[in-house]
Amino acid sequence: MALPAKGPVTGPGSTPPVHEEDAVTSVHPVDEKLHPSRLVPAALQHIAAMYAGVVTPPLIIGQAVGLDIEGRTRLIAASLLIAGVATLLQTLGVKGFVGNRLPFVNAASSAGIAPILAIAETNGDGGQLPAIYGAVMVAGVFCLAVGPFFGRLLRFFPPLVTGVVITLIGVTLMPVPVGWAQGGDEAAADFGSMRNLALAAFTLGAILVIQRFGKGFLKQVALLFGLLIGTLVAVPAGMADFSALKSAPLAALPAPFAFGAPEFQPAAILSLCIVMLVLMTESSAGMLALGEICDRRADARVITRGLRTDGLATLVGPVFGGFPTSAFAQNVGVVSLTRVRSRYVVAVAGATLLVLGAFPVLGAVVSLVPMPVLGGAGIVLFGSIAVSGIRTLSEAGLDDSSNIILVAVALGAGIIPLAAPTFYAEFPAWAQTVLGSGISAGALVAVSLNLFFHHLGTRGRPAAAALKSS
């Protein structure tokens, strides 16, 4: 039989040749490069969700150590810059060394505020920030050293465990938007006023209406439009504060060691290394959650690269005035809510943070969003994280009585700090730091019980089946 001639066939009824450039390749939603008309609003939504959290640590710490407005502005600028760099590293990655290449936001974590304030109280004026920054830098080195081991422990984080942790992220963070809805400042005369609560409820209602009646991309940016509508209503009501615009300088790049050379105090270092363990647990949980939401499982290598980014940002950040860096759970909520999973959206948000840090006057514009408006939107954000955890748990074999007990006890342990903040008051300081975070406490209990029920004393097939179901 004669072989067909090589080369393209162009006769009647023949199939035209397929050129390589015409081939359609499937792009994962995480790697999708959106059109600017979709990308920019989605990125703005992430910025609106993260901005209050990014500036909270420098504001609180700056006030606690007695910095004036100019000093606090420099701290905020540094926090924004470091958050921008860390977020760009996470989303884009560098040759497989750093970056989890997920739509993941990194910034200064509020979980480190309390231990940092304790360090400030034990140091005199002028020595507070140097002691803090010395301890933060060592904590960054600690994260870099320990991070790879976290990636190797992923087999102890099956869906049963990650579902508990993701649920607790949403539940334990709920007091944050509730405080925002009341006004944000407990010392303010109008904290918890009906006016603040009404504005938060109006914002929440606007988001719900857009989500119900909006079509296509409008539904995906319901959060952003809700924030915009809430802010526009707040302006004529006199609830938008424009003072930040008046005091913010046009440009202010942070100078290295502007607050003094770091000092390395053993007690402060130990305290922040413990905090870093908590932050690594929360960051790992955030990556696992995003992996589930984005349908791209976060394996050991992804976790290691992500934690390496945390460590680098925490190590370098204090040079310019930054603090311990970790995952931002509210942005996990944005991804879960909008289903816009492109990491390039978050990369644009990170680049915007860099610009906001270099030009504080632009950052002040974003800060015009009143706290009650953020509170109304935050309820949706953090609630959606809890829903993601519940969805994960629903696929984790809850028909098994051991798994039910595991989830029940782990959730209970995670909610204790929320229900009874003084429960661990008599424990050692290191135990208070670890157990005082509902996320880390619940994660520790879930991992321990998973080992007890599904690893210790099991052999062969039954153990494998138990692990798979959990």
Q: What's the rounded mean pLDDT across residues 430-437?
A: 74
On the question of pLDDT at 7 being above 50, the answer is no
Q: What is the pLDDT of residues 219-268, one digit of tens each?
A: 767 777 888 899 899 988 888 777 666 766 777 777 888 888 899 988 78
Task: For residue 267, give every residue at least 6 positions away whose Cβ sits within 8 Å of its Cβ, in sequence order, or none.
Answer: 122
Closest CA to 239 of 378, 365, 369: 369
Question: Do the beta carbons of residue 268 and residue 131 sit within 8 Å?
Answer: yes
Residue that has been written with the tokens 């970790």 in this structure: 326
Range list of H helices, 122-265: 128-152, 159-172, 175-182, 194-213, 217-220, 222-234, 243-247
Of the ranges 410-419, 422-431, 432-441, the best mean pLDDT one? 410-419
pLDDT of residue 350: 92
On the question of pLDDT at 74 being above 70, the answer is yes
**Any idea which of 222-226, 426-430, 463-467 has the lowest mean pLDDT?**
463-467
Question: Do the beta carbons of residue 422 and residue 416 sit within 8 Å?
Answer: no
8-state DSSP, 325: E
Give me the amino acid identity at 439.
I
Mean pLDDT of the chain: 81
Please report the DSSP string for 109-122 in residue order. -GGGHHHHHHHHHT
Q: Encoding tokens for residue 258? A: 């502007």
pLDDT of residue 347: 93
Q: Encoding tokens for residue 219? A: 């539904």
On the question of pLDDT at 437 being above 80, the answer is no
User: 126 — alpha (psi -120 to 50), left (phi > 0) or beta?
Assistant: left
On the question of pLDDT at 21 being above 70, the answer is no
pLDDT of residue 433: 66
The HSE-up count of residue 166 (CA atoms within 13 Å, CB side) is 30
Q: Is the pTM of this model over 0.75?
A: no
Closest CA to 163 of 386, 459, 318, 366: 386
pLDDT of residue 469: 43
**How many percent of the chain have pLDDT more than 70?**
86
Closest CA to 398 of 152, 167, 155: 167
Q: How far, in Å, CA of 54 to CA of 110, rounded?
A: 8
pLDDT of residue 187: 81
Centre a 10 Å sphere on the Cβ of residue 342 and count the other Cβ atoms it contains: 24
Task: For residue 74, give every residue at least 6 positions away whose Cβ sits within 8 Å of its Cβ, in sequence order, or none.
Answer: 252, 254, 258, 321
pLDDT of residue 206: 93
Q: How far, in Å, CA of 399 to CA of 392, rounded?
A: 14
